Structure 1
Amino acid sequence: MTFVLAVDDDPAILRTLSINLRARGYDVETAGDGRSALQIVDERMPDVVILDLGLPDLDGVTVLKRLRAYGQVPVVVLSARHESDDKVEALDEGADDYITKPFDIEELLARVRAAIRRSGGDGSPLVVEVGDVLLDITERKASRGGADVRLTPTEWHIVEVLARSGGRLVRQADLLHEVWGPGYDRETNYLRVYMAQLRRKLEQDPSRPTIFLTDPGIGYRLVSDRQSD
């Protein structure tokens, strides 16, 4: 049974999460502050953590950093902080996803499932090979010509969505919704920026991409030589 740790200082939110997660077959523990959460993790490693940033003792980003010291447990941030700087900081520190409050429970559950799937918790490893580029999406390891390449959590999220499409076109609105959530369907500039970053890191010639292809005004696709899933 998948073990979920929910960390939030709002008892009503913890109750909502517990009811909905347990109803779907998850094993759930809750913590109202950062120290309690870390104590639970020390005793039993969760399969995924839902983490609020505004905790009464330790800041959520501090908790996130300490979780990363334990390993690569998936972390979905659930926060009332809407500023982009807070989101960028959390993602850069290793959060797998970020959802703002108020939130839709079904969207949150979908994000949790996706985080578990990316971690390999559902037993579905995903590895993509394109020329000398290797993308192990389950382990979140990338290399080009045998040299390690560091991708940000957001870049990994984009790569995973494209990889799971099996080479099919992913429309811009669908990709934005999957990676950034509802309300971002028109923020196509986000995609341009992140796709440019991915091409600089992974393409032989970023100006003539062969891996991350664009259908102008429509969407993107990932072309691979071999893919295991």
Structure 2
Amino acid sequence: MKRIRIIICDDHPLITEGIHSFITQKEDMEVVATAGSAAELMDILPVTMADVLLLDVNLPDENGIDVCMEVKKKYPDIRILGLSNFNERSVIVRMLNNGASGYLVKSESVNVVEQAIRHIYEGGLYFGKEAQSTLTSLTKTELMEIPPITKREKEVLQYLDEGLTSTMVAEKMFISSLTVDSHRKNLLRKFNVSKTINLLQKAKELGII
């Protein structure tokens, strides 16, 4: 019998231990590794075969939304289930856009976690009740309106929001001013705006910065 191989990435020991303990009772599931940070997860993934990743959206060293994108780029076959303490509309949409197969608020029962794991392992999408209520209020257009952005682009956005010039951003990121301007142009195109002020406004509305 093939077991569903699971990695848990969460910095809260109670969450990790609770899910781990529950999964070990299932004959067709096994936890192959646990991580408490994005850095630990990235060390584990190259040497550990896994089918499903339970990913905390709020990791201590990196944004779980960005980690989701990074993992899916390197390991496209892994199904990712986002876990969070909050049911934030922008977070759910961005996790979806970054390749997640599901999203649960941590107040859900372990039985729901099991259902979600089985469902996404089979190729489906799974969202807890709270996430479902949020998603049903979104139109298809709204789901598509948050463009995928790279970690570098997000960093540029944050510095621009702080009022830094291209030269200042370049110094902070150890890149050239031309590269910063290239990132800015890509962001303007992705968000379909012509001015930086409109770019920042739209990024804030969508919860990106």
Q: TM-score range by the shorter chain?
A: 0.5 to 0.7
Task: Please give the root-mean-square deviation of Cα atoms over the aligned residues, in Å.
Answer: 2.5
Work out which of the residue numbers 81, 94, 100 in structure 1 matches 2:99.
94
Unaligned runs of 5+ in 2: 144-209
> Deviations for 1:93-113, whole angstroms, at most 9, x for unmatched residues?
110000012121101110000
Work out which of the residue numbers 128, 131, 137 in structure 2 matches 1:181.
128
How many angstroms apart in 2 are the aligned matches of 1:67 and 1:184?
22
Q: How do 1:31-180 and structure 2 match up within 5 A?
A: 31-70=35-74, 71-118=76-123, 157=125, 180=127
Give the TM-score normalised by structure 1.
0.54
Shift of 1:77: 0.4
How many angstroms apart in 2 are the aligned matches of 1:187 and 1:89?
13
Report what 2:182 is aligned to. Answer: none
Q: Percent identity?
A: 23
Structure 1 segments of 4+ aligned residues over 3 angstroms from their partners: 183-191
How many angstroms apart in 2 are the aligned matches of 1:73 and 1:96?
9
Unaligned runs of 5+ in 1: 119-155, 158-178, 198-229
How many angstroms apart in 2 are the aligned matches of 1:62 and 1:98?
15
Contact 2:65 2:91 in 1 (8 A): no
How many angstroms apart in 2 are the aligned matches of 1:188 and 1:66?
24
For the structure 1 residues 22 and 83, does the alpha-carbon distance in structure 2 shift closer, same or farther, using more than 3 Å as the test? same
SS of the aligned residue for 1:103 comes to coil
Give 1:98's aligned amino acid.
Y
How many angstroms apart in 2 are the aligned matches of 1:115 and 1:85?
21
How many angstroms apart in 2 are the aligned matches of 1:34 and 1:183?
26
How many angstroms apart in 1 are the aligned matches of 2:132 and 2:65?
27
Give the TM-score normalised by structure 2.
0.59
Shift of 1:2: 2.0
Contact 1:7 1:37 in 2 (8 A): yes
Report what 2:148 is aligned to. Answer: none
For the structure 1 residues 184 and 4, does the alpha-carbon distance in structure 2 shift closer, same or farther, using more than 3 Å as the test? closer
How many angstroms apart in 1 are the aligned matches of 2:97 and 2:39?
22
Shift of 1:45: 2.7
> Deviations for 1:171-200, whole angstroms, at most 9, x for unmatched residues?
xxxxxxxx5432578789548x45xx9xxx
Question: How many residues in Structure 1 have an aligned counterpart in Structure 2?
Answer: 137
How many angstroms apart in 2 are the aligned matches of 1:80 and 1:34?
18
Shift of 1:76: 0.4
Higher helix share: 2
Give 1:74's aligned amino acid.
R
How many angstroms apart in 1 are the aligned matches of 2:81 and 2:135?
23
Higher strand share: 1
How many angstroms apart in 1 are the aligned matches of 2:59 and 2:109?
21
Shift of 1:69: 1.5
Report what 1:129 is aligned to. Answer: none
